[in-house]
A and B are shown apart, each in its own frame.
Chain A
């Protein structure tokens, strides 16, 4: 609608990610590199999916089942990549620990590992927001705006920015949950990320129905809040446990 509105939409989608970046990630260069690589990995997964589906697009049907298959395959592929990401991260952790030993610094703390997971998740979240929302925002800097018929009460750019915000949150924190789940072997945490991702993606299917976005988007935010709360509880629990463990260690010395 104008440059101001365009910047507003961009900040709506990326604002919390930007503050996370400035306060946590920009202080440690390694986290910036992790963020860039996880963004690249997400982009590559998106390119692979689009290569797979290119022959069938553009889908002209109004039926919902081709879209379901599209979403199922994309989410499945991305979750598979998450496991691969975890394996690469384990190798990296070993390298970093060996490096720390060599320069006689302490090994990676638990908070360090969680920060790396956070940076990885933030990379996914930022990539989602950039490619699904910001990439399409160019017309918003001009003089007019655009409405989608299925969701005609608010401009398209605003809807996509709101959805992108919810998804960024989900991606960021489910990565932290997933990594700590893989590390501890906790079944709930391990399955949490794929399940939540799938539920969130399915919820966006409601946007296909007329007026569906009125129901879909608040539910999406409920899912995002559940992710946030679960991640907070898990992080708190781990921190308390590790602190009490160290307390015991120093007491017994």
Chain B
């Protein structure tokens, strides 16, 4: 083999789609950790006076006993999950009555609120902290421009993909930051509760997300939702492969604006969670919807998308042809928003998953950085495991449970066991 024409090895391209989804998740987590460490130097004091739907039942006080805090946190989480379930069912109902336009406009409106108000408040905190000299007119104008471009990027899919991806990550960062303002015990119990809810909603036969996906599939429509779509991998070799559509459905949806932790009233909370709910499709088949909740759509397929490239199958040795899906050509309808399917074989990850992963890591950051690294690795491992399970079971799976439960487990293990061990060794400069 001459060194001049070294053939391309298989190692160059395997696993690329996974890395393309891990990168934005990592960037989102990194940004939230940086925001939290810069802005929250006093981790306990900021949580208690924060009114939101998630602290409706109980407001944590640092003088309560652990048992009281746990009970209060459980109550809070219960209220939250009940609200989310109700909203998701409302979403299913609205979708059933074909109010899709309303949902799309609502989605745009929520993005406007998140980017404008939440983004504005966080910018104000940062300006205050770093004493940036800026006047209100400039600030107002740039914030308005930023928000409008964001709404357009997210709402309409005609912008450059990097801008859409960037804005989705920013929305995820902003909502995750607001979640970290909740009290500590409530946050942890809420994360576990949401993971269990996701599991139930996607896998149980009566679950709202599953109903939503089935409705969408039976109607051949897409659900308006905020979903992050990774750039599809273009593999020139697979183009002549024919029109077989292979789909792997793993859906993660994200909660759009679940964190309306601002002083929005409960209806807007409901609406946002409705959007979120929409998103999680347990998508047995089509993916497509831009679901927000927990559904990661992985679509592989040879379908050509309206706007772009032909896609390459994801991990080829895992490709299965879905029986009841269309073969080949009729996928042009799916092209756009996606029902994902990434007709181009791109992985779609709901923004709610971004948000909850980042909340977990940011909460770990409020304790110490060692827990951050451990939780980050746990979440990425959970993401990888979910992808493998998806490829194995070939049906829609929720992405939140495995990662969140692993993350919480590693947080507890690190905080209780690892830290003493490592500190003891390092203080004596003993390393291995």
Contact = CB atoms under 8 A, between A and B. Distances in A.
Interface in A125-166: 128, 130-138, 148, 150-151, 156, 159-160, 163-164
Contact of A29 (B15, B378, B381): B15
Interface stretch (B5-13, B218-226, B278-286, B351-359): B5-13
Contacts of B420: 50, 54, 57-58
Interface residues of B, number: 47
Contacts of B186: none
A250 B5 CA distance: 14
Chain A interface size, as a band, is: 35 or more
B388 to A, nearest CB: 11
Contact of A164 (B13, B374, B431): B431
Contact of A36 (B380, B422, B429): B380
Nearest to B422: A131
B10 A108 contact: yes
Interface string A237-248: 000000000100
A50 B430 contact: no
Q: Does more than half of chain B's interface fall in helix, strand or loop, or is it mixed?
A: helix
A50 B422 contact: yes
B369 A39 contact: no
B370 to A, nearest CB: 3
Contacts of A163: 429, 431
A208 B430 contact: yes
Contacts of B431: 128, 132, 160, 163-164, 167, 201, 204
Contacts of A136: 370, 422-423, 426
Interface in B401-432: 410, 413-414, 416-418, 420-432
B101 interface: no
B418 A96 contact: no
A220 to B, nearest CB: 9
Contacts of B12: 27-28
Contact of A71 (B7, B16, B370, B430): B430
Contact of B9 (A29, A51, A112, A134): A112
Contacts, number: 164
A248 to B, nearest CB: 12
A96 B11 CA distance: 8
Contacts of A50: 417-418, 420-422
Nearest to A146: B427
Interface in A146-198: 148, 150-151, 156, 159-160, 163-164, 167, 197
B313 to A, nearest CB: 10
A138 B424 CA distance: 16
A223 interface: no
A43 B422 CA distance: 11
A102 B430 CA distance: 49
A67 B10 contact: no
A30 B426 contact: no
A33 B417 contact: no
A106 interface: yes
A58 B425 CA distance: 10
Interface in B196-210: none
Given A148-B427, A208-B428, A106 B417 contact: no
Contacts of B378: 40
A151 B416 CA distance: 28
Interface of A: 27-33, 36-37, 39-40, 43, 46-47, 49-51, 53-54, 57-59, 67, 70-71, 74-75, 78, 95-96, 98-100, 102-103, 105-109, 112, 115-116, 128, 130-138, 148, 150-151, 156, 159-160, 163-164, 167, 197, 200-201, 204-205, 207-208, 213, 246, 250
13 contacts: A29-B15, A29-B16, A33-B384, A51-B417, A67-B428, A99-B14, A102-B316, A102-B317, A105-B9, A108-B9, A138-B369, A163-B431, A200-B432
Given A43-B374, A99-B317, 4 more contacts: A27-B12, A37-B381, A67-B428, A103-B10
